[in-house]
Amino acid sequence: MMDAGRHPRIELMAYSEVEDVSGYVGNFRVRVRKKARYVDDKECTACGDCVKVCPIVKPDEFQMGLSTRRAIYIPFPQAVPSAYIVNIHECLGDNPIACGKCIERCDKKCIDFDMQDEIVELEVGAVIVSTGMDTYDPTELDEYGYTRYENVITSIEFERLISAGGPTEGHFIRLTDRQTPERIGFVQCVGSRSQVRGNPYCSNICCMNTVKDSLLLKDHYPDIDITVFYMDIRAFGKGFEDLYMRSKEMGVKYIRGLPGEVKEDPETTSLRLFVENTTTGRLEQHEVDMLVLSIGALPSQDGRVKDLLSLSRTADGFFMEAHPKLKPVDTPTRGVYIAGCAESPKDVKDSVTQASAAAARAGILLSSPRIRVEAITAVVDEDLCKKCGLCADVCPYGAIVWAKKQPARVLTAACAGCGTCAAECRFEAIIMRHFTDQQIYAMIDSILEEDPQDKVVAFACNWCSYAGADTAGTGRMAYPPNARLIRTMCSGRVAPDFAWYAFRKGAPVVLVSGCHLVDCHYINANRNTVRRVDALWEGLEKYGVRPERLQLEWCSAAEGQRWAKIITEVEKLRAAVTPDEVEQTRQTLQETKVPIKSKVGRLKEPAPATMCCMRCGNQWDVTYDPAADEERMCAACRSNSVRVLVG
């Protein structure tokens, strides 16, 4: 960090937070609040005279509360800038000044309680997110006695105790009697790999951190007795297995089993552990002087970054990359990259590797004179736009600029081409390049032109379901050949009109398939798919069509077997749909004029039409004027999901 602080082309903004990020790739505008330090960091020499007279004593967060600090302090060793900072919420000298001892003692006159927060506006071309991680709080695991027994500590507290810069200057002691423990135990997977309490994922670093700690203890205290209680030792990194074997050779005992209960002897303050040794199948008792809980990693709990940059998270809460293999540091938002534990738990080496990759990706972007965008973006026809703003509401990237009484405008550099806006637009004002409504209708026509009774119309998103079908094919998995796939960039591109049109053309079953809800390539666009399909199911039931004839399934690119299973189940459903049922559906939709607005072209002049609510199915005849800026709302359910029915 000190090297970064000295670099002439790196500006470190310590004690600051990002308040807002706007714009798009190459043109981000970042608003940063530089909090008042109440100490002039350019004049402060870190002499420490002010600390000696400060009367406020607080637990030191950096030392995990094992030592104290004053209200004026340096956050951590080697902090940049190397200057003191005042915690104004703890200081007595704010307003009015009730203390002021630090001001009187400072010869350089660096302390100024009149300092104010400063807002800094930055224009940047790329953003790298490296928010780090938090650690699990083992308080809820009461069986380990973390809050009841002083000699039960976490692995982070252990690191501070054994560090030369820690509260004991590297002398490892018990907290109760300040003596070096003779027996010490480590409990692995505290808060990790648990389906009940904690998190189901592996925190990656815990096993090797314990191996490193055991070697460190053996180097300093060769006679210490160390026992590690584990579920599985995962030593998969370069040289990690050698360290693990070296630890065992130095006398560290590894017992496969986690303690079920910990009790303290009130006289000696030693700890008694009851453990089921799964290797021998016996219940064992072990006594230790100190117990270290190897706590797991948690994603950063600050949720503002996700909202500011339109990022998506995986099921475990870490930020999701654009592609786990091809773009491991890119995010779905173009121009934003992730590094370190913001993406997943990892050690220092992997964090440095990923940070280097993110810096390289940002460098490639910034060194290019122009940004190349795929020709699948949205285009707004301003003549047809009714300025309703629905498209801007559903865009996961904020790529649509809209103001009242102004037509929507697409920021092409920010648009990823998911098509959710086009599916949401009720007035055909948005066209998706290379995935237009007319192209999709033409594919439906081609699929159902001959023997429609034997076909399943399947809409598959490009990144997951369509790729999952490829995986099933390359894996030579057997499944029925009746499904005909229509590729869309996202399941959010599937407009309700597409399903209505397929049923009107005689499709026995329509399948909509996309990414899993937490794995959407377009952040959260597939949640709009759920909303639209829910409305379609209600509409189908309204018209007497079995809702199960419209299927919604999730399948990832790696789940070829799942795709085969989905198609097999859908084929069973197709076989159960009789020709009479298909024909009755076609006639019903023809008679009720279920909307196929894009198929018949756009209205140019006022014409008789029917308005239909896509939610409840309510219909009424009107004379529709496409030039009029009019809003329609269903009188039955008060929904604004109204379509113009033509033909």
Report phi then psi at 339, rounded to 5.
-150, 155
- pLDDT computed for residue 338 by the predictor: 96
DSSP 565: H
- pLDDT computed for residue 371 by the predictor: 84
Give the Cα-Cα-Cα angle 473, 474, 480 (nearest 5 degrees). 15
Q: Is the peptide bond before 396 cis (omega within 30 degrees of 0)?
A: no
For 20, 200, 210, 215, 297, the CA distances from 300, given in Å and listed in that order, are: 18, 17, 23, 30, 9
Contact 607, 560 (CB under 8 A): no
- pLDDT computed for residue 628 by the predictor: 56
Q: Which domains does the chain have, with CATH numbers?
A: 2-126 (no CATH), 134-298 (3.50.50.60), 378-432 (3.30.70.20), 437-591 (3.40.50), 607-645 (no CATH)
CA-CA-CA-CA torsion sign (341, 345, 351, 356): negative
- pLDDT computed for residue 193 by the predictor: 93
- pLDDT computed for residue 598 by the predictor: 40
Spatial strand order of the sheet with 118-124 comes to: 16-24, 27-34, 118-124
- pLDDT computed for residue 565 by the predictor: 96
Contact 146, 191 (CB under 8 A): no
- pLDDT computed for residue 606 by the predictor: 65
Low-confidence ranges of the chain (pLDDT < 70): 94-97, 592-610, 612-618, 624-633, 635-647
- pLDDT computed for residue 405 by the predictor: 79
Distance CA 94, CA 143 (A): 44
- Tokens describing residue 324: 């786990």
